[in-house]
Amino acid sequence: MTSVTESSRPARRAPGPDAPRGAPDHGAWFLVLPALIPILVLSVGPLLYGILLAFTDAQSGRTEPTRWIGTLNFQDLLHDTLFWESFRIGLVWAVGVTVPQFLLALGLALLLNQNLRMRWLARALAIIPWAMPEVVVGIMWRLVYNTDAGILNETLRDLGLGDGRDWLSGLGTALPAVIVVGVWAGMPQTTVALLAGLQNTPRELHEAAAVDGAGAWRRFRTVTWPALRPVALAITALNLIWNFNSFALVYVLTNGGPGGRTRLPMLFAYEEAFRYGQFGYAAAMGCVMVALISILLAVFLVGRLRGEAKGGDAA
């Protein structure tokens, strides 16, 4: 490999005017600019614009100019019980998905880290849900939950566990049903991240502990977990955010129904913005969601990181 590049290189020895030392920063800017401009125009810019919008009465399709209205949107939001109900559902959903997702993914990652036969196949199969469009995941589970043609009710009937029910339309079952789908959909990513973390754990230490007669649980507690902790923390924090911002799955499964029982904040804000055209109000919702989630996440991370000596920056 190296010899090929060497032979194809021109035999010019003296560094030219474009030598790397000349203007290091110019070179860097030149390399960064093609990505930086889209990021500024389509990511950082819109984000700031969105925050500004929250302080206006912007609406879709209106002819009068948009006006500054100060914190009026936020005051309205404070008394919007529907929004707070949606926010509560969002929290239940995010925690309800993230915790089982983590535990199940940890179990799977530990298994996949073992020296089992067919491990390659299991690894490939285990991450299939990751490759699927979220819309298809939603459709798939609609078919599973379907009252008559669904496999879930059929299995329950076969096992003699009653006639089954309409899972996604039942007031009590809708949220748990979509949470199961959320867990299923996010497991592969979490598993892969944890598996990557597991492969970083010092094997020698593991073997030494085994020689010393430490049981599996003890080895996990004293050797695996300390090494895995930073990765586990990072992926859990990310999962909480991702799940809270989730949209497509529930949009396809229930579209927020029945009676708003699964109306996640993203669905709520989407309807406010693009069905009712209340851009300013929806932007204010976005701001409140970000602010509250950041605070909750900070509390979670500070709580977890306390007592940990070092290594929290592994993400």
Partner 1 sequence: MRTSTAARTGQYAALLAYLVFLAFPFLWLISIAFKPPRELASLHPTWIPQDPTLDNFRQAFDEQPLLRAGLNSLLAALGAAVIAVLIATPMAYVMARRRGRLAKAATGWVVVSQAFPFVLLIIPLFLVLKNLGLINSVPGLVMVYVVWSLPFALWMLAGYVRAVPRELEEAAAVDGAGRLRTLVSVTAPLLAPGIVATALFAFITAWNEFFFALVLLKTPERQTLPVILTHFIGAEGVADLGPLAAAAFLATLPSLVVFALIQRRITGGMLAGAVKS
Shortest separation between residue 165's beta carbon and partner 1, angstroms: 14
Shortest separation between residue 92's beta carbon and partner 1, angstroms: 18
Q: Which among 293, 295, 294, 273 has a CA at the least distance from the CA of 284?
A: 273
Cβ proximity to partner 1: between 96 and 189 the closer is: 189
Shortest separation between residue 70's beta carbon and partner 1, angstroms: 19
CB-based burial, 78-96: b 16+ in 10 Å, e otherwise: eebeebeebbebbbebbeb
Cβ proximity to partner 1: between 36 and 299 the closer is: 36
Amino acid at 230: P
Shortest separation between residue 75's beta carbon and partner 1, angstroms: 19
CB atoms within 10 A of CB 284: 28
Amino acid at 196: A
CA atoms within 13 A on the CB side of 111: 15
Cβ proximity to partner 1: between 25 and 81 the closer is: 25
Cβ proximity to partner 1: between 43 and 81 the closer is: 43
Q: Which among 173, 108, 168 has a CA at the least distance from the CA of 141?
A: 168
Cβ proximity to partner 1: between 86 and 96 the closer is: 86
Query: In sequence order, which residues have a C-beta less than 8 Å from that of residue 219 and are 6 or more positions away?
Result: 206, 209, 210
Cβ proximity to partner 1: between 175 and 285 the closer is: 285
Cα–Cα distance, 62 to 64 (Å, whole number): 6
Shortest separation between residue 39's beta carbon and partner 1, angstroms: 6
Shortest separation between residue 180's beta carbon and partner 1, angstroms: 10
Shortest separation between residue 268's beta carbon and partner 1, angstroms: 9
Cα–Cα distance, 268 to 84 (Å, whole number): 10
DSSP character at residue 66: P
Cβ proximity to partner 1: between 81 and 114 the closer is: 114
Cβ proximity to partner 1: between 61 and 307 the closer is: 61
Amino acid at 102: F
Q: Which among 232, 231, 223, 178 has a CA at the least distance from the CA of 201?
A: 223
Given the structure tokens 């125009």, which residue do they identify?
A: 41
Q: Which among 295, 243, 284 has a CA at the least distance from the CA of 76?
A: 284
Cβ proximity to partner 1: between 92 and 113 the closer is: 113
In a 10 Å sphere around its CB, with 0-12 CB exposed, 13-18 middle and 19+ buried, how is residue 303 labelled?
Answer: exposed
Shortest separation between residue 43's beta carbon and partner 1, angstroms: 5
Shortest separation between residue 265's beta carbon and partner 1, angstroms: 8
